């Protein structure tokens, strides 16, 4: 396996599924004291909280996604860990990961102004490199 040359710069976000978005929103905002970055009350809804300053303009975040049913991690990006990489390393990391035989899904999240690479670890946990 080709080493990454320590291109990971920090933790971008942790995303988890929740059954009661309102209660979890209140808990993380009022009890834990996190700042709300964005909430969407669409079909299943989500809320993003800022945990701390991050790397390259991407804060360290906690994302809560309301789900009616538990999702299969192989079919959803909701449960994942995001790690920051530098924008200038984005294409190099994409090529490196693909060269290792990993199935990479690259996308742009316009509202966050970031580019992401999604892939799975050997046990099926979903990872994201975000730049």
| Higher local confidence (pLDDT), 123 or 60 | 60
Distant-in-sequence, close-in-space partners of 50: CB < 8 Å, separation ≥ 6: 34, 35, 36, 37, 59, 60, 61
Looking at residue 69, what is its pLDDT? Answer: 56
User: Model pTM greater than 0.85?
Assistant: no
Average pLDDT score over residue span 107-125? 82
Per cent of the chain over pLDDT 70 is 85
Mean pLDDT score of the chain: 83
């Amino acid at each position: 396996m080709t080493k990454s040359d320590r291109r990971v710069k920090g933790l971008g976000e942790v995303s988890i599924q929740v059954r009661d978005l309102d209660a979890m929103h209140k808990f993380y905002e009022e009890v834990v004291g996190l700042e709300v970055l964005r909430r969407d009350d669409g079909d299943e809804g989500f809320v993003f909280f800022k945990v701390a300053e991050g790397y390259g303009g991407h804060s360290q975040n906690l994302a809560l996604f309301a789900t009616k049913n538990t999702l299969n991690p192989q079919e959803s990006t909701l449960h994942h860990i995001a790690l920051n990489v530098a924008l200038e390393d984005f294409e190099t990391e994409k090529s490196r990961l693909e060269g290792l035989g990993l199935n990479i899904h690259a996308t742009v999240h316009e509202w966050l102004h970031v580019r992401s690479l999604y892939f799975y670890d050997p046990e099926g946990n979903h990872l994201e490199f975000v730049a």
